[in-house]
Amino acid sequence: MTNIAKQTSTNHQRTAIAYYHNLRELVPAHWIEQTIKANGIQQHYYRTGGVKPPLVCLHGFGESGLSWLRVARMLEVNYDIIMVDARGHGGSSGVTGGFAPEILVEDVISLLHALRIEQVCLLGASMGGSTAAQVAVTSPDLIQALVLEDPPWDLSAQLPLVASQKYQARMKRWHAWLQQLQAETPAERLISALERVPPGAATWTEEEYVTWVEAWAQLDLDLVAVGPALWSRMEVPLCNLLPRISCRMLLMRSAYAFARDAQARHMQEDVLACPDIVVADFAHAGHSIHREAFEEFVIVVRAFLRECRRRPD
pLDDT band at 118 (very low <50, low <70, confident <90, very high): very high
> What's the pLDDT score for residue 219?
95
Cβ atoms 26, 103 nearer than 8 A? no
Which residues are CB-neighbours of 183 under 8 A, at least 6 positions away?
A: none
Please determine, for residue 82, whether its predicted confidence score (pLDDT) is greater than 70: yes
User: Maximum CA pair distance of the chain?
Assistant: 56
The answer to which of 32-41, 96-105, 110-119 has the lowest mean pLDDT is 96-105
Domains of the chain: 19-155+234-310 (3.40.50.1820)
Average pLDDT value for residue range 95-124: 93
Please determine, for residue 251, whether its predicted confidence score (pLDDT) is greater than 80: yes
Cβ atoms 229, 168 nearer than 8 A? no
Neighbours of 151 (CB within 10 A): 27
Q: Are strands 277-282 and 248-254 parallel, antiparallel or unpaired?
A: parallel
Give how far the C-alpha of residue 203 lies from the chain's centroid of Cα atoms, to the nearest Å. Answer: 18
Q: Are strands 54-58 and 80-84 parallel, antiparallel or unpaired?
A: parallel
Summarised one tens digit per residue, pLDDT across range 48-79 is 999 999 999 999 999 999 999 999 999 999 99
> What's the pLDDT score for residue 181?
96
Average pLDDT value for residue range 14-19: 83
Instruction: Provide the edge-to-edge strand list for the sheet that holds 120-125.
Output: 32-38, 41-47, 80-84, 54-58, 120-125, 143-149, 248-254, 277-282
- Of residues 227, 109, 224, 135, the one with CA closest to residue 178: 224
> What is the DSSP code string of 216-258?
HHHS-HHHHHTTHHHHHHH---HHHHGGG--SEEEEEEEHHHH
Please determine, for residue 201, whether its predicted confidence score (pLDDT) is greater than 50: yes
Average pLDDT, the chain: 86
Average pLDDT value for residue range 275-304: 91
Please determine, for residue 158, whether its predicted confidence score (pLDDT) is greater than 80: no
Cα separation, 299 vs 32, in Å, equals: 25
> What's the pLDDT score for residue 170?
82
> What's the pLDDT score for residue 208?
95
Please determine, for residue 235, whether its predicted confidence score (pLDDT) is greater than 70: no
pLDDT band at 286 (very low <50, low <70, confident <90, very high): confident
Q: Which has more confidence, 302 or 276?
A: 302
Q: Which has more confidence, 30 or 153?
A: 30
pTM of the model: 0.90
